[in-house]
Each structure stands twice: as C-alpha cells, then as structure tokens.
Copies of this chain bind each other. A is one copy, B any other.
Amino acid sequence: MADHAVASGPTKFETHPSRYKHWALNVDGEIATLKMQVDSDHPHKPGYELKLNSYDLSVDIELADAIQRLRFEHPQVKCLVFAADLDRVFCSGANIYMLGLSTHSFKVNFCKFTNETRIYLEDASANSGFATLAACKGTTAGGGYELALACDEIALVDDGNSAVSFPETPLLAVLPGTGGLTRLVDKRRVRRDRADVFCTTAEGIKGKRAKDWGLVDHVVARSAWDKTVGDRAKALAAKQTIVRGPAIELPPLNAKLESDTLSYKFVTLKIDRAARTGELTIRGPEASDTELDANTWSLRAFRELDEALLRLRFDMSEIGMVTVRTVGDHKLVQQHDERLAKAAESNGFAREIRLLQRRVLKRYDNTARSFYAVADTPSSCFAGSLLELALGADRFYMLIDGDEKIGVSVSVANTGFFTMSSGLSRLDARFYGDPERVRAVLGQDAFVPSEQAEKLGIATIAADDIDFADELRIAVEERASLSPDALTGMEQSLRFVGPETLETKIFGRLSAWQNWIFTRANSTGEHGALTLYGQPTRPQFQWSRT
C-alpha cells in the first residue's frame, strides 16, 4: 500500500475557486451554491477514478477552501446549498478504491480532516450566520449522506429511487467514517433501533419513510424540486441574525519547503527525520498595526499554523514528537488579542478571525503528535493566544533564567472564547473542577516568570540552566522512542478531560472504533470486505465477536 505523502510529494492544501476541479461555487446574493461535480480523472493520487461523485482528499480540500472563503470573502451569503451536477446521484461518499489503496495512517488522517470540515459547516451555521442545506437530488450514500447530516436541513428528491444510505457496515465491513453514526442519533435524534435498521440496510431508505424516521427533513417531487430548494434556502437565509464582513480576500500563504524546513511568514516547521522529531516555531506580530486587514497577524499566523499542522499530519507521518516554541513581544500579542476581541463586538471580520483561531487551536488539540511547548529564551512569547499553544501541549517546559525574562502572560484570548472540542477553555481543562486556579492565572496582570508559572500550574516542568537542556533533550528522545499508537490513544484520553460533545464523540469515540475496524482483517485483510470491494470474490469473515 502506497504512502500518499512519500509517493506524491507535499500535499497542497491551498487552492482557489478558480482552480477547483471538483466543485463549482456560485454566489447569488444571500445564497451560495456548491455544486459537486467531481472530475473522475483528477483523483488525489493515481490509481483510481472518482466516479459517481465519490470523493477523496482533493475533493475535500476544495470543500474546506470554499467554506473558509464564504466566511471571509462572501459575508453577504446567509445560506449555502449543496447540490450536484449529476441527475441521479448527489454523492456516493468516499471513494472505496482510494480507501483500499491507502495506508492506515492516511485513512485515519483523511477521515479526521473530512470530519473537521463537516464540523466547520456546523460551526458556520452556529456562529457565523450562514446556514446550510443539502439538496440531495439522487443517491446520497455513505460520506455523501454524512455531508448532508452536517447541514442544517436535508431535502431528498422523491422519485421512487433516490435514497439516503449508509452501506459501509453491510458492504464494506467498516463504519461511516465522518461522524454519521453520532449525528444520526445525537444530532438528528433518529431512534436508535431505527438507526440500527438504517445502518445495516445497504440500499438505504427513501421517500416518506426517510422523512418519518427523521433521516431527512423534506421529500420533494422532481417537479417541485427547484422551487422547493430555492424556497428553503431563502427561508434559512432569512433566519440568520449574525452579520459577517466587511469582505476581505484571503491571500495565498506561499509556504516554502526547503529540504526539511517548511516556512511561512510567521510559522516555521523544521523536522529531523532521523530523530523523528520536529520543531514548530510561531512568531508573534511585528508591530501594533492599526488596521485589521487580510494580512493582520492574528489571521495570517493562524492560517499558516493551520496549514503547517495539516502538512505535519499528511506529509510527515513519522514525525511523532514536536517541540513548540514562540518568538516575539508579549505586549504586541496582548495588544493584538485585545484589539481583536474588542473589534469583534461590532465587526464581523474580526469575529471571523477569532473563530478561525479557535478552529486552528482545535486542529492542534486534535493532531495525533506529542507536543511539548518550550520556553527557553527571553525572546520566547507564550502570551495570550500563543499561550494557548502551551496550554494545549502535552507538556510545557520552562527555563528558569536569573533575569526572569522568560515567562508567560495572559490576555483576553485565555478567558474562554477559545474553547476546545469539549466546550472547555484550555485553562478550564487544565484545572478541571478547580475554578479557583483558573482565576488565579487569569488574575495575573503582569508578566509571569517561569518559576511563578510553575507554581501557578502553567509550566509542567521549570528548571534552571544546569538541568534544563539535558532534561528537555532526554524527554524528547524518550517520547520519540515510544509506540506511536499507544501515544495516540493516551493523548486522546488525557487531552479531552471533562464534558463530551458531538465533536469529542466523533473524534474520540467514533473515530477510535473506526481506527480499530480499519485494522481488522474483516475489513482490510486479504479476505476483507474493503479489500475485495468491486471484485467477484466474497469476503470471508473471522467470526469472533469482541
């Protein structure tokens, strides 16, 4: 099985509607339409065709780009309609042959990315004033139905044929991998016994029954289709109260990749392939710039971090241990954070920047690599929004310097807006069930040197010059020597303390079961159903239940 990253070079996460191969984005006043028109001849990797509006990573990268641009570049849009160019197929889900050809690591990261993108649709609807409508005029199967489930409303054509379905379990011996099971029962509240019938009925459910069971919101005759979809889109748009804008265009990030260093304006990721470690550095703002624009630090640095995390996930699968450093001026970060938070009260663009920062920090929490934040020079800058990177890391190492120039500072960015998937702020998660300690940290108006940061519970380990470098080096080497699988499971369990949400259920529960199932012979073994899909040979199962 080919490792996508090694085989095909760096994954390109940057795109633009003018270059889309698989979607057509059309904006018409308050209504935008994303028409799925997957080009079967342009898969992400050679080896399979993207027939029947099936998708792969390339298709999903364009989708993620479109959602982001709608938020920033088209603030007038209040409803996004998903449609398709085929007459009898809305979307047939993730491409099975692509899955069959992919490594386990790629499959898992592909599912994680598509899950994040689906959650961004729900985030846009909840926080950014644009609703989503899935206009399913034809077969809506597997990941196609999961895309629909992430929308606010689902319309299904009533043509005696078109059904929604989850054929994954009966046909492929896997689970719907993009949150479908959780959204069925938790979001749409489909009765669990009906969900059971639905998820084991390969041909799916159509027409009146699909509506009665709550699988879709509207079943619509072909003759009434265009009008009904248009009316529903207008009705959803009319309900929106959150105002975005002013519009800004998202400039390209233009990452540079030179040997083992990926660099952007504010973000650098340097890897050591032999040691299987990486060094991620995020630089703070250079000045207290006066205008909010497309190049403002808060937006640009976090967009860069987002892409660097995706490249780490997809293209550097053996880099398991990453140190995270920051460089800059504490005061400037605090100024940017405070100004942004204030502006966000009345300015939709500022609000969008904060929401983007929140999503990027969630992507960081959800990246299956060990992160050790490190503050070891006076130029380090774990302040405000950058302090979140230390709070989200598995450990935070701080050097105690005689001058007390190394430390942390808090800002409005730490007070609760930047929630994790669990709904807790990173400080609330760190001091779970102990709000006094959260208040003690947030009460620090001044710069907090390392020793004090350790006392407050911010630093995991603070040490002076004599011990620091050795202690950190040994910790990094030790971490890089441990089983990557065990670390992923351990980190998932320790990072997400406390309450569970749809998001944590999808990433922590559903994905873990899917990971397990992907490794089982019954799906991906020689005689497994995923392996044999499309071939005349029937799968042979090992019957032991676990």
Residues of B within 8 A of A105 (CB): 544-546
Contact of A546 among B168, B185, B368, B479 (CB under 8 A): B368
Q: Contacts A197-B395, A483-B522, A485-B523 known; list 18 others, CB within 8 Å.
A: A104-B544, A169-B487, A173-B485, A175-B489, A184-B494, A191-B430, A192-B429, A196-B395, A200-B479, A317-B544, A368-B545, A484-B541, A484-B544, A485-B516, A485-B517, A492-B509, A512-B513, A515-B546
A170 contacts partner chain B, Cβ-Cβ < 8 Å: yes
Residues of B within 8 A of A393 (CB): 193
A526 contacts partner chain B, Cβ-Cβ < 8 Å: no
Residues of B within 8 A of A395 (CB): 193, 196-197
Residues of B within 8 A of A491 (CB): 196
Contact of A543 among B193, B479, B484, B544 (CB under 8 A): B484
Instruction: Mark each residue of chain A from 469 to 503: 1 if its CB lies under 8 Å from any CB of chain B, else 0.
Output: 00000000011001111111111111101111000
In the assembled complex, the Cα of A366 lies from the Cα of B401 at a distance in Å of 53
Could you tell me if A175 and B499 are in contact, using CB atoms closer than 8 angstroms?
no
Residues of B within 8 A of A196 (CB): 394-395, 460, 490-491, 494
Could you tell me if A430 and B193 are in contact, using CB atoms closer than 8 angstroms?
yes
In the assembled complex, the Cα of A429 lies from the Cα of B395 at a distance in Å of 38
A514 contacts partner chain B, Cβ-Cβ < 8 Å: yes
A103 contacts partner chain B, Cβ-Cβ < 8 Å: yes
Could you tell me if A545 and B512 are in contact, using CB atoms closer than 8 angstroms?
no
Interface-facing stretch out of A29-37, A220-228, A261-269, A431-439: A431-439
Say how far A86's CB is from chain B's closest CB, in angstroms.
28
A26 contacts partner chain B, Cβ-Cβ < 8 Å: no
Instruction: List 17 contacting pairs A-B, 8 Å CB cutoff, sorted by A.
Output: A104-B546, A105-B545, A174-B486, A175-B489, A182-B493, A185-B494, A189-B434, A193-B460, A369-B545, A483-B541, A485-B516, A486-B523, A488-B546, A489-B514, A492-B509, A509-B509, A513-B515
User: What band does the interface of chain A fall in when counting residues whose beta carbon is under 8 Å from B?
Assistant: 35 or more
Say how far A300's CB is from chain B's closest CB, in angstroms.
27
Could you tell me if A173 and B483 are in contact, using CB atoms closer than 8 angstroms?
yes
Say how far A109's CB is from chain B's closest CB, in angstroms.
7
Instruction: Mark each residue of chain A from 161 to 203: 1 if its CB lies under 8 Å from any CB of chain B, else 0.
Output: 0000000111011110000011011100101111111011000
Residues of B within 8 A of A512 (CB): 509, 512-513, 515-516
Residues of B within 8 A of A432 (CB): 185-186, 189, 192
Contact of A529 among B174, B396, B483 (CB under 8 A): B483
Residues of B within 8 A of A318 (CB): 543-545
Residues of B within 8 A of A492 (CB): 509, 513
Supposing A490-B181, A508-B509, A546-B104 touch, asked if A192 and B430 sit within 8 A by C-beta, the answer is: yes
Say how far A265's CB is from chain B's closest CB, in angstroms.
27
A519 contacts partner chain B, Cβ-Cβ < 8 Å: yes
Give the residue name and chain of the B residue nearest to A489 (CB).
Answer: B513
A510 contacts partner chain B, Cβ-Cβ < 8 Å: yes
A250 contacts partner chain B, Cβ-Cβ < 8 Å: no
Across chains A and B, which 3 residue pairs bring their CB atoms closest together, nearest first?
Answer: A173-B483, A489-B513, A512-B512
In this complex, which of A184, A395, A432, A515 has the most chain B Cβ atoms within 10 angstroms of its Cβ? A515
A108 contacts partner chain B, Cβ-Cβ < 8 Å: yes
